[in-house]
Amino acid sequence: MSYQVLFEPPAQLDIAEAFTWYEDKSYGLGGDFLRVIAAASEQLQRNPHLHPPTQSGFRRVLLRRFPYALHFQVLDNAVVSVLACLHHRRSPSRWPG
């Protein structure tokens, strides 16, 4: 079964901000960040249930090479809804749930 991965507007904004920050630090690093996001998205398409739910019921996939995680939920209709892309050091009050 293949899942459809949807990035909600807040997650899109988080990704755009992180891309800009990395690209400002080193040309091309933002592109690397987007490639890691794409790889995580492909992983979620194949099997989002590999990532156990947290106490709040949401799931997260850690990004390779970058200190970020995609926070998501699996909906009944084979859709993965990515709610946020957050830095590990960001305040837990920003996390979904």
In order of their start, the domains of the chain are: 4-92 (3.30.2310.20)
pLDDT in tens, 31-67: 999 999 999 999 999 999 999 998 888 999 999 999 9
Tell which residue, 1, 22, 97, has the closest CA to residue 65: 22
Question: Residue 18: what pLDDT?
Answer: 97
Cα distance between residue 24 and residue 57, in whole Å: 35
pLDDT at 19 exceeding the cut of 70: yes
Question: Residue 71: what pLDDT?
Answer: 94
Mean pLDDT of 13-39: 97
Question: Residue 80: what pLDDT?
Answer: 98
